[in-house]
Amino acid sequence: MNIVVRYCSKTPFGNTRRIAEAIAEGVGVQAVSIADEPKLNEKADIFFLGGAPYANIMAPELREYANNIDPSMVSKVVLFTTSNWSRRTVLALKKTLKSKGISVCEEYFFAHMLKIDEKIEEARAFGQRMAKRKLPTRSYFI
Ligand SMILES: Cc1cc2nc3c(=O)[nH]c(=O)nc-3n(C[C@H](O)[C@H](O)[C@H](O)COP(=O)(O)O)c2cc1C
């Protein structure tokens, strides 16, 4: 099973990057910034994707990244976000991805921007738990 973790992180604090790295550590893979890899270039059974809101909207490059994801490359997306209060990034990403026919896990990870240190262990455990979760199987009528 191939699991990838991608994120968009803009402030010098790197809040979303730190959560992405913790999730990736839990999974046992490397987190990669979309600034370093602007297009998903490998198939993902589970695709962790995270970002943050800036003035109430996600970074334009994250929006573009999500819009350009090839649905045939991704089986399931798990979202994460950091912010002061808003979960808007998760909601907006979910809407975009679902409209492309990509399956998005209802559960997501949120860390408040001032509580990143406290959330690292939880993010690690989240990655581990979501990676172990069985993918939904298709059912067929016969
Ligand atoms: C210019 C700017 C605008 C922001 N606007 C919002 C906002 O509208 N709502 C919110 O909840 N947080 C807002 N935040 C907080 C960021 O979403 C939060 O610090 C986030 O953790 C940043 O992630 P990053 O360090 O990975 O870039 C803003 C932060 C900055 C710097």
Domain range holding 24?
3-132
CA of 95 to the centre of ligand 1 (A): 20
Full DSSP string of 95-134: HHHHHTT--B-S--EEEETT-HHHHHHHHHHHHHHHHHSP
In a domain, 74, yes or no: yes
CA 12 – ligand 1 centroid, Å: 11
Q: Is 81 in the pocket of ligand 1 (CB under 6 A)?
A: no
- Assigned domain for 31 exists: yes
Asked if the structure places residue 140 within a domain, the reply is no
Q: Mean pLDDT in the chain?
A: 94
Residue 13 domain-assigned? yes
Mean local confidence (pLDDT), 83-109: 97
Does 110 score more than 90 pLDDT?
Answer: yes
In the block, residue with structure tokens 């059912």: 139
pLDDT at position 142: 38
Number of domains in the chain: 1
If you ran DSSP here, which 8-state letter would residue 142 be given? -
Any domain includes 124: yes
Instruction: Examine residue 142 and state whether it is found in any structural domain, yes or no.
Output: no
Question: Which atom of ligand 1 is closest in space to residue 16's alpha carbon?
Answer: 26
Tell me whether residue 16 is in a domain: yes
Q: What is the pLDDT of residue 139?
A: 41
Distances (CA, A) of 138 to 75, 98, 125, 135, 141: 12, 17, 27, 9, 10
Q: What percent of the chain has pLDDT over 70?
A: 94
* Cα-only R_g, the chain: 14
pLDDT tens, residue by residue, 41-82? 999 999 999 999 999 999 999 999 999 999 999 999 999 999
CATH code of 108's domain: 3.40.50.360
Residue 45 alpha carbon to ligand 1 centre in Å: 29
Closest C-alpha among 124, 139, 115 to residue 22: 124
